[in-house]
Structure 1
Amino acid sequence: MTVESQSAVKRFLAPGRDVPASFVVFLVAMPLSLGVAVASGAPVEAGLIAAIVGGVVAGLLGGSPLQVSGPTASLTVIMFSLIETYGWRATCAITMCAGILQIVLGASRVARTALAVSPAVVHGMLAGVGVVLALSQLHIVLGGSPQDSALDNLVDLPRQVLAQHSLATGLGVLTIVVLLVWERTPWRRVPAPLVAVAAATAVAWFGGFDVPRVDLPSSLLVHWGPPSLPDGALPDVVGAVVAVALVAGVESLLCSVAIDRMRPVGVARSDLDRELAGQGAGNFVSGLLGGLPVAGVIVRSTTNVRAGALTRGSTVLHGIWVLVLAMSCGAVLEQIPLAALAALVVTLGLRLIDRSHLRGLRPHRESLIYWVTLGGVVVLGVGEGVLLGMGLVACLALRRLTRVSVRTEQRDGRWHVVVEGSLTFLVVPRLAAVLAGIPAGAPVDLDLDVDFMDNAAFDAIHTWRVSHERLGGRVDIDEIHESWYESAMTGESSPPPRKTAGSSRWWAPWANRGRRRPEALEQASPREILLAGVREYHGSTARLVRPIMAELSMAQTPDHLFITCVDSRVVPNLITASGPGDLFITRNVGNLVPRNGARVSDDSVMASVEYATSVLNIKTITVCGHSMCGAMAGVLGGGTEIEHLPQLSNWLKHANHSLDRFLHEPDPEDARTPLDRLCQVNVMQQLDNLLTYPWLKHRVETGELELVGMYLDLETAQVHILDPEQGRFLTVPDSVEPSEERAPRKGGAPHGTTAFPA
């Protein structure tokens, strides 16, 4: 084999990582595919066909190499309704048409527009589907039959619970218990769905229970027939096609984005347009062969990443394993009790109600959207619930766009009016009422801190100003950022940038301030851009900080030693709102602190600590980690990705204790991914590493020194602080209670100073 062909194989398949990962995903996919098929009212083999096609076709053609596609619980309610209305073969035709629509959308390169759908709507829809799914399948577990609607299922549930139950109910309960308990055992690496279904099957077989079981045909395509045209009104059929295409497409795209955040170092980001087209090809083939619709499934995809997959070869292989088992082990699959699959789907439905998503929506005040969408899906249906949620999103967005703050006060005989927000015609009545309340002839300072002003708002302000000045008053208008009022007065088409002593976006990266840089710098070298930044500093900022720097030039008296990562996205002075002279900063790859007596010697970090505590009399040492840390990704990957970097590999040996702690301590609630969890655990471990130095530990124990752990979530730009008692990171409170306030230190902090109150 040539070097080129070997390289191509490695890009498609990393045998040492992808083969075992594919088998783990296959073990998860098998019972879930069967359960989704049963819950959808489709032939059992339809779930297996979808799993095979999702793995092979969508895996080969899709744009997300680590995403695993297959039948998904989020489409179960839609598919059940379509099969009841049009029949199975017509539903397969709808699946094919949905696939064609996805291919067209992918070719049109509009995939990213699907991400404009509010996550609150998407998660509310999934939670609503989970509720409907759990209610319907719970009736099957209890030995009954589901009703026509979720509300009917809910009303009938007490009667079903009190009714006589068969052996099948016991098998369903056993399945649920195993699912809940297994993930807390030391053997949780073995997929819980496989263990639960295998346990119920074994009990039924050894006990000789006469319960309904899976009825699998001798061949996957034995019941195949050409898809038929749906017999129904054209608008209803088109609506069904669009519903399947959009729900499957949006779920796949959101899954791709989530997997991108977890992907190992070296794996390319997803091509969302290609992914949507690949999902369309998978749905077309699955519908043609008599399978369920496919979509990217977050459970299988995260399992794939956590199992160590590096290429799309793992996804494709998992589909091949499903095909091999379905063709060779049909007799084994036919021993699976239907009650066990129903119980599996009940648990799967309940897990669609993810509380972590709700916690993430609360800070943005979008919980109402989630609950309205969930309720709409349960009461009205999936399509109606999503439309209801999107309508609420539009209403809330309009309300936020029209939210304006108008403050007035009197000082030194003058009226001061401050207007903040977006000035549109919708807020003119309120603004006019405030301005009309100012006495005639009074001098007025009007501060406009607005990001937009339409003609109606300008006309209202200008009319009032002319009238007020005609009656002897004086109005001074100051526009804090962009000059919307001045632009309208001079007839310019767009407001000119405000000339201030420095950019209002001084904290933004150079690329985000391109419109403020000379056009000649657009193609400039990095050195030229750096020098342009220095010139901007000299022209706007240097004169402002010169008095401070002149005072600090004689001596430095920082308050904190700040140990953090070299990552360019972490800016200590920005996230702590500190200035020159406040932080004594040391940075290294992974914000690591070598332990006392470490085999890999390095004195640079402790040299900073020693100087800070012994010479500068610093009383607080902060170790700050961050999410998506490349150093921790290398540690988590076992160092294989950085073997060609000997110095870095040697340095990261200092993180071995962090990795060991990560593997043996329970997951913190606030870590979304294994990488984020390791990043947080690493901060805790570095604080412990500091305490391995006896002289430093003595200072901490006597109260002369305080250690603080911080964590920056890059995605949300939020800083979290370590609570040592709870062993987890908490959000920094918006305000400090009066009793917690501390006076600033001059030349040394008093004992007991709390750097960042929690």
Structure 2
Amino acid sequence: MSAAVAVFLIALPLSLGIALATGAPLQAGLVAAAVGGIVTGRFGGCPLQVSGPAAGLTVVTADLIHRYGWRATCGITVLAGLAQLALGCLRVARGALAVSPAVVHGMLAGIGITIAVAQLHIVLGGSPDSSVLANLRALPAQLADLHPAAVSMSVLTLALLLAWPRLPGRVGRMLRVVPAALVAVAGATATAALAGLTLPRVDLPSWRSHALAGLPEGPVSGVVAAVLTTTLVCSVQSLLGAVAVDKLLAARPGPQSRVRRSDLNRELLGQGAANIVSGSLGGLPVAGVAVRSTANVNSGAVSRNSTMLHGVLVVVAALLMVPVLEEIPLASLAALVMAVGIQMVSLHHIRTVTRHREVLVYVATTLGVVFLGVLQGVLLGVAVAVAVALHRLTRTRITHDEKEGVHRVRVRGQLTFLAVPRLSRALHLVPQGAHAVVELDGSFMDHAAYESLQDWRSTHTARGGTAELAGRRGGIRTSEQVPATECQCRPWTPWRNHQSCFAGSAAAPAGREAAHELARGISSFQRNTAPLVREELARLAREGQRPSQLFLTCADSRLVTSMITASGPGDLFVVRNIGNLVPPAGEEHGDDSVAAAIEYAVDVLGVRSITVCGHSGCGAMQALLATGAGDGGTPLQRWLRHGLPSLARSAGERHGRPRLAGREPADAVERLCLANVVQQLAHLRAHGPVGRALAKGELELHGMYFHVGEAQAYLLAETEGAAGFERVTEGAAGGVRQDVGGDVRQDVDGGDGQDVDGGVGQEVGGGVGRGVGTVEEARGGR
């Protein structure tokens, strides 16, 4: 409720101001705010993003109204919504994020400049033109013909807008709860009413005469371009806003840390539905709005209910507060929107593009939007970005020098096929049998350059020479001597399969062989894998861990969790112990490690799923069958007493025993392994944090069995009242999901964010450097 009220107080004046800036009927801004809150809030993929009329759409909408009229603009909004629905169904939302940030920020800066120049005329008491150049040419005449009442209300609005967030002291902190935009507009409105100033005010016609959508008329190419422009700006702004909300939530503790990450394709569908409804009802185009979304998060919102309720409050205000709204001076709304436009020219973005040497792209996009239009400016920015990228690819510097018998070939920049001829010439300057060092100072090497370099290295070493590859800044690999025989190792294989890589290593004493194996394995990671995952690990180090899964499994060395789940850093919170046991709640007898991990995963990390994974040939289960367990004896025997309920379940009635892929277990050990998974899930439900999360519908429980000899995973399912484990196949499109109450059902498309065929960040096929074989394959790329 508090978040909804805070967002409503910001949205109300801004919606009217944006409608004024576009030249649309002012109630169109209220329609878009209400529809954006209710429709996008209900169907969008980012629960805490607030949508409505956005300043980034002001220039586009104003141009459409000038060309086609208001009713046709509403029709174009409906068509843009249909286009967004189509893009969402095609699942191309993440493609929008591939646009260079310099182009996006340049587009927003150009729109902000256009807004500020246009609203300046209203602030001074005049009326703006549709063209930026025309507004700039008319500015001297407007300055000579000031309207004191309008200027004074505008100055008061800007002063309150700037001063309110800076109020000092404890009283200031209490007052800052009220949004600055509301204070600024309300203060100007009250001052104008008390002073009896005569100046233009908000005019809200009767809803009975409200104009609805109509079909656009004119050349088809022009209408198509208008629809594409509206779709582009709405979609890109909304998707970037959703990503920004995820970043805000990443650093939030408590309940907000458990909010699901954005589903960008669903967000695109929600935005499309909102634009269809808003355009049909005579409202402005709808997009995600950063200011309102940030206020929603900062006010403690934890679900989409706050977004939807803010839309309901806008509807109430539009129906019951018309007399109050009609007292607002237009100059005050214009000053508010002008301030928003100025803020869109972000100094932080300018510093960022300067640091990454993309100023040319930023400036070209900004000027293109200001003087040519939004779509033309974006296309110009993309063209300049491509030209800059090609220019950088062709500026690779390759040098060769010789010092004290060592030949050094230095490569500065990106190593692509364009530089292969120069690379070959430099490498052929190295004499046969000489010691050579190739220094790679760049972040990318394509396949053509990789093959050329490897062919030369093989030839050079075969003729008695030696070669070192050195990567100074995230290069392909660290400095090392390359053996004449190419290493054929693959990821996820035991150390004994890597002996060919260490043929040149000095033999270690027998007692220290284990330590040397570990050191060599770490060295292999630093050489082959670390360059591929360093960027992702750096991101996790900054943002902290937010795993979606608690994976509780056995300590057996044959069970490699990241391999059998194709997961990467930050995906799984793993707990391992002998026999994948979960001590029943209240019976730990001094062993709280598993209970502590469960509490931390559920209450602190906010995991959405817990999986208990057993496996074939489990030594703990064999020990239980052979000797049982008791309160005395060794620590191992005392630990195994937590498996006695599993032993009893396994020995129970035949019809209640778990089955494996429709067949009976192969032997007593396998029967006990399967029963143990089901029993440990029952123990899990008795733990307080798990029980509370299950009752709220915030957690799911899963059972899994991995057959080591077959390299085959099985998921727990329900078959006519009896538990059974179903085989997971390569082409599986569904997931087996444990219901909150403990029942099991089959999901056709997988659960939200838990698709077996992969979701965002959980792809079974592997993500960046994640799937089996991808590390070796990627060595020829990044």
Q: Do both proteins adopt the same fold according to a TM-score greater than 0.5, normalized to the shorter chain?
A: yes
* Equivalent residue runs for 1:55-66 within 5 Å: 55-66=37-48
Name the CA distance, whole Å, in 2 between partners of 1:69 and 1:301. 8
Partner in structure 2 of residue 445 of structure 1 = 436
Q: Tell me the CA shift for residue 218 of structure 1.
A: 2.3
CA contact (8 A) 2:48 2:301 kept: yes
- Rate the CA distance shift 1:510–1:343 in 2: closer, same or farther, 3 A: closer
CA contact (8 A) 1:414 1:442 kept: no
- Rate the CA distance shift 1:524–1:269 in 2: closer, same or farther, 3 A: closer
Name the CA distance, whole Å, in 2 between partners of 1:524 and 1:491. 39
* Equivalent residue runs for 1:596-745 within 5 Å: none
Partner in structure 2 of residue 752 of structure 1 = none
Partner in structure 2 of residue 260 of structure 1 = 246
SS at match of 2:12: helix
Partner in structure 2 of residue 384 of structure 1 = 376
SS at match of 2:445: strand
Name the CA distance, whole Å, in 2 between partners of 1:412 and 1:258. 54
Which residue of the other structure, out of 106, 119, 144, is the alignment partner of 1:137? 119
Does 2:265 align with 1:243?
no
Name the CA distance, whole Å, in 2 between partners of 1:419 and 1:49. 58
Which residue of the other structure, out of 394, 398, 402, is the alignment partner of 1:406? 398
Which residue of the other structure, out of 215, 223, 231, is the alignment partner of 2:217? 231
Partner in structure 1 of residue 417 of structure 2 = 425
Name the CA distance, whole Å, in 1 between partners of 2:163 and 2:278. 35
Partner in structure 1 of residue 209 of structure 2 = 222
Which residue of the other structure, out of 173, 193, 200, is the alignment partner of 1:212? 200
What residue identity is the alignment partner of 2:268? L
Which residue of the other structure, out of 357, 368, 377, is the alignment partner of 1:365? 357
What residue identity is the alignment partner of 2:26? V
- Rate the CA distance shift 1:462–1:20 in 2: closer, same or farther, 3 A: closer
What residue identity is the alignment partner of 1:253? L
SS at match of 1:445: strand
Q: Tell me the CA shift for residue 461 of structure 1.
A: 9.9
Per-residue CA distance 1:4-63 (angstroms, 9 max, x = gap): xxxxxxxxxxxxxxx121111111000000000010011111101001101111111111
* Equivalent residue runs for 1:129-208 within 5 Å: 129-185=111-167, 186=172, 187-208=175-196
Does 2:274 align with 1:276?
no
Does 2:524 align with 1:502?
yes
- Rate the CA distance shift 1:403–1:458 in 2: closer, same or farther, 3 A: farther
Partner in structure 2 of residue 297 of structure 1 = 289
Per-residue CA distance 1:693-735 (angstroms, 9 max, x = gap): xxxxxxxxxxxxxxxxxxxxxxxxxxxxxxxxxxxxxxxxxxx
Report how many aligned residue pairs link the two structures: 510
Name the CA distance, whole Å, in 2 between partners of 1:157 and 1:319. 38
What residue identity is the alignment partner of 2:438? D
Q: Tell me the CA shift for residue 213 of structure 1.
A: 1.0
Which residue of the other structure, out of 104, 110, 118, is the alignment partner of 2:100? 118
Q: Tell me the CA shift for residue 377 of structure 1.
A: 1.4
SS at match of 2:524: coil
Return 146-155 or 302-311, whichever deviates more: 146-155
Which residue of the other structure, out of 31, 34, 48, is the alignment partner of 2:30? 48
Give the structure-2-normalised TM-score: 0.58
SS at match of 2:408: strand
Q: Tell me the CA shift for residue 78 of structure 1.
A: 0.6
Q: Tell me the CA shift for residue 234 of structure 1.
A: 1.3
CA contact (8 A) 2:430 2:436 kept: no
CA contact (8 A) 1:442 1:474 kept: yes
What residue identity is the alignment partner of 1:452? M
Partner in structure 2 of residue 615 of structure 1 = none
CA contact (8 A) 1:171 1:200 kept: yes
SS at match of 1:105: helix
Partner in structure 2 of residue 103 of structure 1 = 85
Per-residue CA distance 1:405-453 (angstroms, 9 max, x = gap): 43423222343324465543322454356457x4988946253748535
Partner in structure 1 of residue 328 of structure 2 = 336
Q: Tell me the CA shift for residue 389 of structure 1.
A: 1.6
CA RMSD for the aligned pairs? 4.2
CA contact (8 A) 1:435 1:464 kept: no
CA contact (8 A) 2:63 2:130 kept: no
Partner in structure 2 of residue 322 of structure 1 = 314
Q: Tell me the CA shift for residue 526 of structure 1.
A: 7.0
Name the CA distance, whole Å, in 2 between partners of 1:61 and 1:115. 21
CA contact (8 A) 2:235 2:287 kept: yes
Per-residue CA distance 1:244-264 (angstroms, 9 max, x = gap): 111111111111111112232
SS at match of 2:402: strand
Partner in structure 1 of residue 65 of structure 2 = 83
Name the CA distance, whole Å, in 2 between partners of 1:261 and 1:441. 54
Q: Tell me the CA shift for residue 124 of structure 1.
A: 1.5
Name segments (4+ residues, structure 1) moved above 6 Å: 439-442, 459-466, 489-498, 508-513, 529-534, 630-633
CA contact (8 A) 2:110 2:369 kept: yes
Per-residue CA distance 1:369-420 (angstroms, 9 max, x = gap): 3232222212222112211222222223334445534342322234332446
Unaligned stretches of 5+ in structure 1?
1-18, 514-522, 535-566, 570-629, 634-643, 647-758
Name the CA distance, whole Å, in 2 between partners of 1:35 and 1:429. 59
- Rate the CA distance shift 1:505–1:367 in 2: closer, same or farther, 3 A: farther
Name the CA distance, whole Å, in 1 between partners of 2:145 and 2:23. 24
CA contact (8 A) 1:69 1:297 kept: yes
Q: Tell me the CA shift for residue 233 of structure 1.
A: 1.6
* Equivalent residue runs for 1:452-531 within 5 Å: 452-455=445-448, 476-478=466-468, 481=476, 499=501, 501-503=523-525, 504-505=527-528, 507=530, 527-528=555-556
CA contact (8 A) 1:267 1:310 kept: yes
Name the CA distance, whole Å, in 2 between partners of 1:403 and 1:139. 47
CA contact (8 A) 2:397 2:411 kept: yes
Name the CA distance, whole Å, in 2 between partners of 1:125 and 1:494. 48
Unaligned stretches of 5+ in structure 2?
250-255, 471-475, 492-497, 503-522, 538-550, 563-568, 572-602, 607-687, 691-782
Does 2:386 align with 1:394?
yes
Name the CA distance, whole Å, in 1 between partners of 2:353 and 2:87. 29
Partner in structure 2 of residue 35 of structure 1 = 17
Q: Tell me the CA shift for residue 81 of structure 1.
A: 0.5
- Rate the CA distance shift 1:425–1:568 in 2: closer, same or farther, 3 A: closer
Q: Tell me the CA shift for residue 365 of structure 1.
A: 2.8
- Rate the CA distance shift 1:511–1:256 in 2: closer, same or farther, 3 A: closer
Give the structure-1-normalised TM-score: 0.60
- Rate the CA distance shift 1:93–1:505 in 2: closer, same or farther, 3 A: same
SS at match of 1:502: helix
What residue identity is the alignment partner of 1:223? H
What residue identity is the alignment partner of 1:502? S
- Rate the CA distance shift 1:188–1:409 in 2: closer, same or farther, 3 A: same
- Rate the CA distance shift 1:422–1:370 in 2: closer, same or farther, 3 A: closer
What residue identity is the alignment partner of 1:136? A
Q: Tell me the CA shift for residue 148 of structure 1.
A: 3.8
SS at match of 1:209: coil
- Rate the CA distance shift 1:180–1:392 in 2: closer, same or farther, 3 A: same
What residue identity is the alignment partner of 2:294? T
Partner in structure 2 of residue 23 of structure 1 = 5
